[in-house]
C-alpha cells in the first residue's frame, strides 16, 4: 500500500509536528520497533509521541519493575475518549506494569464545586466500573485522591518546591483562583509520582498516557521530581580533557556527600557541595549507588516520569469532541440504539455527490466514522486497511460505513454494559 493509501492517516500527525520542534516531545516511530506486542493505538500511529518512554520499554522487555498511571476527574459521563486511556493503562498492566488509577475528586470538588458524595458516585458508577469492565485487574491500584494519605502528603512536599509564578504560567492561575484549585494541581503531580514511593517498592520507570494538551503538567511533574531529589549527577572534564563524574548536592542533608563517596568503588574526592568520582566504568552503577544512598537517607530519588501522547478523536459532527455537545460524543453508558442513531448522523469524509465519490474517493482524514473504526470498533488491521482502500478508491459509499459502524457500536455498548454489571459485583475485590 503506497503512502497515498496510508490507513493510519499519517497526514494528521503533521498537526502535532510543532510538539516535536517546540516542546521536545519525541516521535513514537523512533521507539516503536523496540516494543513487544504493540497495541493497536501504537500500530495505527494514534500514539504519536513520547517523553522518556525508552526507560519503560527497557524495563518491559527485561522483566524489570515499571508502572503506569493515569487519572480521571469525576465530572461527567465516561465516554470513548476515556476508554482509550483506560485501554492504554490496561495494556501496560498486561505487559507487567504496576497500574495506578486515580479518581481526581479533589480537582472536581475544587474546580467544579461537586460535593464529595457526588464525586464518589460519579467516580464509581461511571469511571471505575467501566475500567473494570474493560479488563483492569484487581492487582492494580484504584483510589480517590481525597482518601489517599500518600498523595496528599506528597502533594504538600511538592508544594515546597513549586511557586505561584510557575503554576500561574502553566495553568493561568490569578488572584481570583481559589487555593484549593492550586492544591489540586500539585495533587495531580503527586498522583504521577506516587508509584515510586517506598510503599510501592521505590523508584521505577512510570508512564503516563495522556493527550498532548496535558504535556505542560507532565513537564511540571518532571521538574518537580528532579527538584525533590538530593543529588544531581553531571559529566565533567578537567583542564587536561579527562572526563569524570560529579555528584552535586541539592539541599542534601549533612554528611550525605561523604556517605555517597564512601559507597563508590572508584576513586573519589569530596568538596563542599559536591563529590567527584574518577575512573567510572559503569555509569548506571554509579547512578544506582547515588539513588540507593538517597533512599537510605530518607529521600525519594524519583525517576522523571515518562509519557505517551495520543491523538484526539474529533466529534461525531466534526470539530472537537465535547461532553457539552451530546451529539459529538458517545458515552459508554448510553442506550446502544441511541448511540447507533448518533453514528448514522455523524459527519463523514464523503464527497458532495455519488459521482464525485466514485471518481475522487472519500477523505478518511476528515471522516468521524473512519475514526470510530480506527480508534475503537475494528481490531483487525487488515479489515481496516481494506475499508480504507475501498473508500479512497471510490469503491465504498458512506451509507455502507455508517450502517456497519452503527451495528458495531451498538454491539460493543451492549457487551460493555453487560460487563459493567458484572464489574459492579466485583468492586470489593478492588477495595471499593
- What are the pLDDT digits (tens) for 262-311? 999 999 999 999 999 999 999 999 999 999 999 999 999 999 999 999 98
- 3-28 pLDDT, tens digit per residue, is 333 444 443 444 566 667 677 889 99
Task: Please state, as a whole number, how many other Cβ atoms lie within 10 Å of the Cβ of residue 179.
Answer: 9
Instruction: Compute how many other C-beta atoms are within 10 angstroms of the C-beta atom of residue 72.
Output: 23
Of residues 323 and 52, more confidently modeled: 52
Q: For helices 215-228 and 179-193, give the axis angle rounded to 10 degrees.
A: 70
Is the CB of residue 160 less than 8 Å from the CB of residue 207?
no
pLDDT tens, position by position, 141-164: 999 999 999 999 999 999 999 888
How many CB atoms are closer than 10 A to CB 68?
A: 26
Does position 428 have pLDDT exceeding 90, yes or no? yes
For position 163, what pLDDT does the model report? Answer: 86
pTM (2 d.p.)? 0.90
pLDDT for res 18: 67
Looking at the DSSP assignment, which residues form a beta bridge with residue 305? none
pLDDT score at 211: 86
* CA–CA separation, 401 and 370 (whole Å): 8
Largest CA distance in the chain: 80
pLDDT in tens, 219-242: 899 999 999 999 999 999 998 889
Amino acid at each position: 500500500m503506497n503512502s497515498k493509501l496510508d490507513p493510519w492517516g499519517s497526514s494528521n500527525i503533521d498537526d502535532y509536528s510543532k510538539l516535536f520542534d517546540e516542546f521536545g516531545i519525541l516521535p513514537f516511530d523512533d521507539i516503536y520497533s523496540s516494543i513487544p506486542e504493540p497495541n493497536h493505538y501504537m500500530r495505527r500511529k494514534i500514539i504519536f509521541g513520547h517523553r522518556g518512554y525508552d526507560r519503560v520499554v527497557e524495563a518491559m522487555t527485561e522483566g524489570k519493575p515499571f508502572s503506569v498511571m493515569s487519572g480521571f476527574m469525576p465530572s461527567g459521563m465516561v465516554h470513548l475518549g476515556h476508554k482509550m486511556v483506560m485501554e492504554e493503562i490496561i495494556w501496560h498492566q498486561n505487559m507487567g506494569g504496576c497500574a495506578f488509577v486515580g479518581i481526581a475528586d479533589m480537582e472536581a470538588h475544587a474546580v467544579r464545586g461537586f460535593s464529595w458524595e457526588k464525586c464518589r458516585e460519579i467516580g464509581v458508577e461511571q469511571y471505575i466500573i467501566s475500567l473494570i469492565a474493560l479488563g483492569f485487574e484487581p492487582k492494580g491500584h484504584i483510589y480517590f485522591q481525597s482518601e489517599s494519605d500518600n498523595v496528599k502528603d506528597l502533594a504538600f512536599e511538592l508544594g515546597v518546591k513549586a511557586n505561584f509564578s510557575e503554576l500561574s504560567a502553566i495553568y493561568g492561575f490569578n488572584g481570583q483562583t481559589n487555593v484549593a484549585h492550586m492544591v489540586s494541581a500539585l495533587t495531580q503531580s503527586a498522583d504521577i509520582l506516587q508509584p515510586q514511593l517506598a510503599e510501592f517498592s521505590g523508584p521505577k520507570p512510570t508512564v503516563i498516557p495522556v493527550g498532548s494538551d496535558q504535556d505542560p503538567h507532565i513537564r511540571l511533574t518532571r521538574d518537580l521530581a528532579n527538584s525533590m531529589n538530593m543529588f544531581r549527577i553531571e559529566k565533567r572534564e578537567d583542564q587536561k580533557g579527562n572526563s569524570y563524574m560529579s555528584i552535586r548536592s541539592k539541599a542534601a542533608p549533612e554528611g550525605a556527600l561523604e556517605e555517597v563517596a564512601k559507597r563508590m568503588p572508584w576513586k573519589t574526592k569530596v568538596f563542599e557541595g559536591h563529590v567527584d568520582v574518577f575512573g567510572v566504568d559503569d555509569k548506571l552503577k554509579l547512578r544506582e549507588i547515588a539513588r540507593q544512598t538517597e533512599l537510605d537517607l530518607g529521600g525519594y530519588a524519583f525517576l522523571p516520569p515518562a509519557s505517551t501522547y495520543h491523538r484526539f478523536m474529533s466529534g461525531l459532527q466534526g470539530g472537537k469532541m465535547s461532553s457539552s455537545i451530546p451529539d459529538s460524543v458517545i458515552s459508554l453508558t448510553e442506550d446502544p440504539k441511541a448511540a447507533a442513531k448518533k453514528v448514522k448522523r455523524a459527519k463523514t469524509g464523503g464527497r458532495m455527490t455519488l459521482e464525485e465519490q466514485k471518481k475522487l474517493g472519500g477523505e478518511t482524514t476528515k471522516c468521524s466514522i473512519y475514526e470510530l473504526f480506527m480508534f475503537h470498533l475494528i481490531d483487525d488491521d487488515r479489515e481496516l486497511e481494506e475499508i480504507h482502500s475501498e473508500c479512497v478508491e471510490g469503491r465504498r459509499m458512506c451509507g455502507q460505513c455508517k450502517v456497519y459502524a452503527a451495528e458495531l457500536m451498538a454491539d460493543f455498548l451492549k457487551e460493555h454494559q453487560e460487563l459493567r454489571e458484572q464489574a459492579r459485583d466485583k468492586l470489593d475485590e478492588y477495595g471499593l
